[in-house]
Amino acid sequence: MKACKNCRLIFEDAPKCPQCSGEELTDKFNSTVFIFDPAKSKIGDKMGVKAPGKYAVRIGK
């Protein structure tokens, strides 16, 4: 599993992020959260999430 440093989406190993096409990926993340409805989710709003999915709350350097 990897997390995109740009949008924080978590996905299976891929060369780039399927959501934003970002290529800055990391496997150092924790506190994952599944956001079903970004518009109604406070944490989703805070993180700038626009699409449902699994996201990393914190990403390591």
- Contact positions vs Zn ion (CB under 5 A): 4, 6-7, 9, 17, 19-20, 22
CB of residue 6 to Zn ion, shortest distance in Å? 4
CA atoms within a 13 Å half-sphere pointing along the CA-CB vector of 55: 23
Handedness of CA 28, 44, 54, 2 (dihedral sign): negative
Closest CB to Zn ion among residues 24, 45? 24
Closest CB to Zn ion among residues 41, 47? 47
CB of residue 57 to Zn ion, shortest distance in Å? 15
From 32, 40, 6, 39, select the one nearest 16 (Cα to Cα).
Answer: 6
